Amino acid sequence: MDFLRNVFALNREIIYFVYGLVFFVLGLAISLQSRYTSRLELARNLKWLAAFGFTHGFHEWGDLFIPIQAEYLPAPAVLFLQHIHLILLAVSFAFLFEFGLSLLSPFGNWHWLRLIVIGVTAVWLFVMWFPLHLWLTDAQAWHSTASALARYFIGLPGGVFAAYALRKYAIQRIAPMNVPRIFNAMRAAGITLFFYGVIAGLIGPRVDFFPGNWLNGETFTAWFVVPPQLVRAVIGLTLALTTIRALEIFDIETEQRFETLQKQQILSSERERFARELHDGTIQKMYTAGLLIRSVRNLTRAGSRLTGRLATALDVLDDAIGDLRHNLGILNAAGESQQSLDVALQELASDPRFGSLVTVTLDLSLPEAAEISPERAAHVLSIVREALANIVRHARAHHARIFVRHIEDRLHVAVTDDGAGIPLHVEEGYGLRNMRDRASLLGGRLDIQNTGKGTRLTLDVPWGVSK
């Protein structure tokens, strides 16, 4: 035991450095991994956990570097650094508290607790600056007391509350997504936060009041040999690993959105293909069969039994054609937008399914007097939707632009992005073939090019040519 105590004492500076580094890496990893385009509340609230990691890491490095600077700087400068050191500690705990509050905001009104946290932090700042300096003339006693108060009244409740919030959020938001490994990682992160809150909040410097006069860093080391800074460093490392693993939920969320977009595109294309087959195939064949029956009826004697049967067959056939046309109308109504083309394009450009993954800009200028048929508008809209879906699935782009103009009785549409660009010899899949088929049905031309700075899709079709 004495050997371990000597090892830890000799490597005290390394322990402080690793401790601060772990939390700094936690903040950095969360900053790099977070997704502000996500619909999950977690994405918008991770900034508080990242802020906690950064500020707490700098605080811990202060324990290492301030004693070194004290050998060279005058006393007022050292006292100023100690004030900053304590403020970083309290602010880091406040950030942790805010992380929990932000996570719980969708599940109830917690604003009252935020006011309490702000009030407690403000009181702590006032006490640190004024009464403590008057009561405690010894700089070390002042620093230890201020640190202990920050841990007891901000750090302990902040860590426990953040752990509770993360657990509740995992149950309410992550569990329904049916990703057990992410759910378990988030639960593990919550448990780690709880232990961090307890250890960081209760085990601080020795002070003259309870519980710091009984439970502090010195007594903890005496009981368990291991210094509390090393324990907190291990907890911080565990928190970083479990949090980074839990952040994979953003990739899964994006994959689910891609899958939903792809299913919708396939369903829309299949609906239109089926409608075309009904219109151009089945209905035309039934109409031809009706003409043949009529020609046979004209050859029979009027009033004969065969003539009556042929007339009945024609009535049944006409009813069947009417039913098919009615169902075809319903099918087309489900697949086509009943809105004007400009309104439909504006809604498509603002669709959060695309806007949360790439910034979509619409440059639209269509004459108010000219109207394109709903059927042709549906084809154009499907081509643009498929182009946006390809951008978010394959291009790794940040921005997409939709350019729409009516030029000399033709409709010109261009969809560009700043992504990786389409390969020069790409094997066209179902989506690209479907876009070309729609352009052909519109009597126009579709062109897709790699611009060197992304991909440019252009559609040029007659405005009023019937399909």
> Does one domain contain both 56 and 200?
yes
Contacts of 323 (CB under 8 A, 6+ apart): none
**CB-count exposure of residue 33 (10 Å: 0-12, 13-18, 19+):** middle
Whose tokens are 């000399």? That residue is 408
Confidence of residue 330 (pLDDT cuts 50, 70, 90): low
> Does one domain contain both 294 and 196?
no
> Does one domain contain both 329 and 345?
no
CA 183, 243, 38, 165 dihedral sign is positive
CA 374 to chain centre: 34
DSSP output for 92-140: HHHHHHHHHHHHHGGGS--HHHHHHHHHHHHHHHHHHHTHHHHH--SHH
Tell me whether residue 467 is in a domain.
yes
Phi, psi values for residue 109, rounded to 5°? -95, 105
Q: 175: which DSSP letter?
A: G
Tell me whether residue 174 is in a domain.
yes
Domain, as residue range, for 449: 338-467
> Does one domain contain both 358 and 432?
yes
> Does one domain contain both 177 and 77?
yes
Q: Alpha helices of 34-74 — where are they, by DSSP H?
A: 41-70
Tell me whether residue 195 is in a domain.
yes
CA 143, 149, 150, 152 dihedral sign is positive
Integer CA distances (angstroms), 404 to 109, 122, 241, 359, 392, in order:
45, 56, 47, 17, 20
Kindly report the CATH number assigned to the domain that includes residue 358.
3.30.565.10
Tell me whether residue 200 is in a domain.
yes
Q: 176: which DSSP letter?
A: G
Which pLDDT tens digit goes with each residue over 263-318? Answer: 666 666 666 677 667 766 777 778 778 778 888 888 787 778 888 888 888 888 87
CA atoms of 75 and 60, how far apart (whole Å) = 21
> Does one domain contain both 187 and 65?
yes
> Does one domain contain both 381 and 330?
no
**CB-count exposure of residue 143 (10 Å: 0-12, 13-18, 19+):** buried
Q: 413: which DSSP letter?
A: E
- pLDDT reported for residue 466: 45
> Does one domain contain both 417 and 356?
yes
Give yes or no for residue 467 having a pLDDT over 50.
Answer: no
Whether the Cβ atoms of residue 128 and residue 185 lie closer than 8 Å to each other: no
Tell me which of 467 and 63 has the higher pLDDT.
63
CA atoms of 80 and 83, how far apart (whole Å) = 5
> Does one domain contain both 58 and 81?
yes
CA atoms of 266 and 434, how far apart (whole Å) = 9
Which pLDDT tens digit goes with each residue over 178-199? Answer: 889 999 999 999 999 999 999 9
> Does one domain contain both 330 and 343?
no
Looking at the DSSP assignment, which residues form a beta bridge with residue 11?
none
Q: Of 335, 357, 385, which marks where a domain is finished?
A: 335
> Does one domain contain both 331 and 381?
no
Tell me whether residue 264 is in a domain.
no
Which pLDDT tens digit goes with each residue over 341-390? Answer: 888 899 888 887 777 678 899 999 888 766 788 778 888 988 998 898 88
Tell me whether residue 415 is in a domain.
yes
Tell me whether residue 266 is in a domain.
no
CA atoms of 354 and 151, how far apart (whole Å) = 44
Mean pLDDT for the chain overall: 85
Which pLDDT tens digit goes with each residue over 239-268? Answer: 999 998 888 887 777 676 666 666 666 666
> Does one domain contain both 106 and 208?
yes
Whose tokens are 């009826």? That residue is 297
Tell me whether residue 383 is in a domain.
yes
Kindly report the CATH number assigned to the domain that includes residue 143.
1.20.1070
Q: Mean of the pLDDT values across residues 436-449?
A: 87
Q: State yes or no: cis peptide before 211, omega within 30 of 0.
A: yes
- Going by C-alpha positions, the residue among 84, 144, 93 that lies closest to residue 118 is 93
Integer CA distances (angstroms), 150 to 89, 99, 117, 205, in order:
7, 17, 12, 11
Integer CA distances (angstroms), 268 to 103, 264, 336, in order:
37, 6, 9
- Going by C-alpha positions, the residue among 184, 312, 265 that lies closest to residue 431 is 265
pTM over 0.75: no
Q: Of 288, 315, 335, which marks where a domain is finished?
A: 335
Q: Of 247, 280, 315, which marks where a domain is finished?
A: 247
What is the tally of structural domains in the chain? Answer: 3
- Going by C-alpha positions, the residue among 44, 260, 351 that lies closest to residue 173 is 44
What are the E-state strand segments in 328-454?
359-365, 399-407, 410-417, 445-450
Confidence of residue 235 (pLDDT cuts 50, 70, 90): very high
Give yes or no for residue 41 having a pLDDT over 60.
Answer: yes
The tokens for 220 are 């903890």
